[in-house]
Amino acid sequence: MRDKLKSFFTEHWKYMAVSTACKLNLFDNLQEQKTAKQLATELSLNEEKLLLLLNALHNADFLGKNDDFFKVNSLSELLTENNPESLKYACLNWSSEHLNAWQNLDFSIKTGNSSFENIYKKPFFDFLNENPDKLHAYHKAMYQYAKDDYKTLPNVIDFSNHKSVMDVGGGYGAVLENIKAKYPIVECILFDLPKVIEKVTIPYIQKISGNFFEKIPSQSEAIVLSRVLHDWNDEKANNILKNCFEALPSNGTLYVIENCTDKIKIDLSLLSLNMTAMCQSYERTSTQYILLCKNAGFQFDSETKLNELQTILIFKK
């Protein structure tokens, strides 16, 4: 028991070693085998300390090793920049500010408020908006997750029922990319903050920038709100939903995609703590989401599972 506990205390070191390797682009630079000396020279790093890190990564099964040469393996291949299945930015996402927020979780437990906001003196999305590199890295991370998470969305929902669909808070557009691939005739509109929209390069979709707390344009028969409401407390979530209601035509459809805690076998308390620490929000039950949407004027229509974690709640105006 004591030994199990002692190793548990430092389990995060392995993640820290891997995320540091991503931060220093080590995996990108080890697609051909190299010694620590070669890599240290190329990247201007301290050779002795780099060797420690490379050996740690090898022992954690993140690097192959042959004599003094290190090389990426099938796992760390997935943490290189240009791999089509890359999770490099998803990996980096949980370091830096997220870790700082978790380190101050006691503040959130005492006050119920966001420890991120207490440290950085502004809400998370305002912070991102003021730090272009972090904003870009965050959205690349979201996109890398989204590519897997929304793969089946066009099979689960028949979007051909709509002439147009707007993804509100759609980030770099993974949801719409999937919808457009199966339903090329459906007009797809991406709505997000200006600094996000200006970075989106995917073709065949209309891009509109704005602030969902102020106004959402009336441009579509349906709105998708995916992993948006869980970022906000009830008051802010209600503000977004009211603007969605205003934007939709009568009989318009709202699709809310979230991890509903009552629809999942695994416990989401840790994710909820993360949302509290970062955004002063939490993961809700489907009943709580339905109540939020009803309070904004919507009628609940039906629900369906998207994947193991996410549920789609469908509402009508």
- Which stretches of the chain bind ligand SAM, using CB under 6 A? 125, 142, 146, 169-171, 192-193, 196, 211-213, 226-228, 231
Q: By beta-carbon distance, which residue lies closest to ligand SAM?
A: 169
Out of 58, 136, 162, 230, pick the active-site residue.
Answer: 230
Residue 76 or 178 having the CB closest to ligand SAM:
178
CB of 170 to ligand SAM, least distance (A): 5
Residue 169 or 252 having the CB closest to ligand SAM:
169
Residue 157 or 196 having the CB closest to ligand SAM:
196
Residue 170 or 252 having the CB closest to ligand SAM:
170
230 is catalytic: yes
Residue 78 or 224 having the CB closest to ligand SAM:
224
Q: How far is CA 117 from CA 104, 169, 221, in A?
A: 11, 21, 36
CB of 34 to ligand SAM, least distance (A): 35
CB of 173 to ligand SAM, least distance (A): 9
CB of 56 to ligand SAM, least distance (A): 32
Residue-wise DSSP of the chain: -HHHHHHHHTTHHHHHHHHHHHHTTTTGGGSS-B-HHHHHHHHT--HHHHHHHHHHHHHTTSEEEETTEEEE-HHHHTTSTT-TT--HHHHHHTSHHHHHHHHTHHHHHHHSS-HHHHHHSS-HHHHHHH-HHHHHHHHHHHHHHHHHHTTTHHHHS-GGG-SEEEEET-TT-HHHHHHHHH-TTSEEEEEE-HHHHTT---SSSEEEE--TTT---S--SEEEEES-GGGS-HHHHHHHHHHHHHHSPTT-EEEEEE--GGG-SS--HHHHHHHHHHHS-----HHHHHHHHHHTT-EEEEEEE-SSS-EEEEEE-
CB of 142 to ligand SAM, least distance (A): 4
**Which residues participate in catalysis according to the annotation?**
230
